[in-house]
Amino acid sequence: MIELRLPVDAGLAQRLEDHFCEDYQQCWMLVENFQTKAQELRGFFDSPEAMETELAALRSVFPGLEEQPEVSELADQDWKEAYKFHFKPWSERGLHWVPVWERENYDLPEGEQIVYLDPGMAFGTGNHETTRLCVRRLLDARDEWGGAVPQKRVIDAGCGSGILAISARKIGFQSVYGFDLDPDSVRISLDNEKLCDLEGRIEFRWADLKEGLKDQTGDLLLVNILANVLCEHAGLLCHSVRPGGWLVLSGILAREYEQVHAEFAPVVASITGASPPLDARTEGDWADLLYRF
């Protein structure tokens, strides 16, 4: 395994992270030094030829990358552990997301819930804005539905590491279903389910949107994928939400949410009989949308 390292400033690091989220890939990651706050781009490749190809492709989008990267041979075990540098604990409204290797060091306040994660290379530690936007809508649903939460069904479309599905189960939703097109994501989600003592209590499945939502409906449908994919499947997504339910869309660039709303509003109106309000939130360069049915 070959490792490539390049220092990047904070502005470039944010643009790179957004790019990697928007254009799914597995060879690049960003690492922050927690003490100095210095940012570094790291790439991992099976061969020098693969490194040169991927680096050239990235430079075509980001020509400001430094010309001379640091390149070294890396043991397979080091590669498998590298992602841990990028996962930091965080919490909100009584729910905590903690890497499993911090289990012994993390103090959980009494009466609150914890989600242990070992995300591997699957998308979904909660550190990216798109996931946090979804988590906040999930907690909003819990707060609004109150005692009815155990009777509500949650669907996590594009489950990544399983963070949203597992969080839903931790805060009281009894019927939770997650699926992803990436088989590694499904495997990691199942592993994380075990870490959280929820083995067998969440249904995870390997499927694309059409197959994953076939004959499936939910009271809360969380969809954290790219804007163009959301728009392409607007009808399917809207018809997969039960009456009185919520559809949460994330993975949308902040500059795109009005266009996404323009695609979804007529579909929602055809189902509910009323034009939906624009309910969007932004964080950084990203946005979400909420529709009520």
CB 242 within 8 A of CB 293: yes
Domain co-membership, 215 together with 276: yes
Please name every residue paired with 231 in a beta bridge, in sequence order, or none if there are none: none
Q: What is the CA radius of gyration of the chain?
A: 20
Strand duo 241-253 + 218-224: pairing: parallel
CB 158 within 8 A of CB 121: no
The most distant pair of C-alpha atoms in the chain lies apart, rounded to whole Å, by 61
pLDDT per position in the chain (293 positions), as tens? Answer: 788 888 998 888 888 877 776 554 567 877 776 556 788 888 888 888 989 999 999 999 998 888 888 898 866 555 556 556 556 788 999 999 988 888 888 899 999 999 998 765 444 455 678 889 999 999 999 999 999 999 999 999 999 889 999 999 999 999 999 999 988 889 889 999 999 999 999 999 999 999 999 999 999 999 999 899 999 999 999 999 999 999 999 999 999 999 999 999 999 999 999 999 999 999 988 999 999 99
Structural domain boundaries enclosing 241: 121-292
Domain co-membership, 46 together with 138: no
Domain co-membership, 152 together with 243: yes
Out of 83, 110, 138, a domain closes at 83
As a whole number of angstroms, the distance between CA 246 and CA 137 comes to 9
Out of 83, 102, 130, a domain closes at 83
What CATH number is given to the structural domain containing 158? 3.40.50.150
Domain co-membership, 142 together with 271: yes
Tally of domains within the chain: 2
Domain co-membership, 156 together with 287: yes
The tokens describing 276, both together, are 């939906």
Domain co-membership, 270 together with 167: yes
CB 32 within 8 A of CB 87: no
Q: Do the domain assignments include residue 97?
A: no
Nearest to 155 by CA among 270, 236, 262, 260: 236
pTM, entire model: 0.75
Q: Do the domain assignments include residue 88?
A: no
Q: Do the domain assignments include residue 257?
A: yes
What CATH number is given to the structural domain containing 31? 3.30.70
Strand duo 286-292 + 2-8: pairing: unpaired
Q: Do the domain assignments include residue 138?
A: yes
Q: Kindly state the DSSP code that residue 164 receives in the 8-state scheme.
A: H
Q: Do the domain assignments include residue 114?
A: no
As a whole number of angstroms, the distance between CA 139 and CA 171 comes to 8
Q: Do the domain assignments include residue 72?
A: yes
Q: Do the domain assignments include residue 109?
A: no
Domain co-membership, 71 together with 143: no
Q: Do the domain assignments include residue 112?
A: no
3-state secondary structure labels for all residues of 56-82: HHHHHHCCCCCCCCEEEECCHHHHHHH
Domain co-membership, 235 together with 165: yes
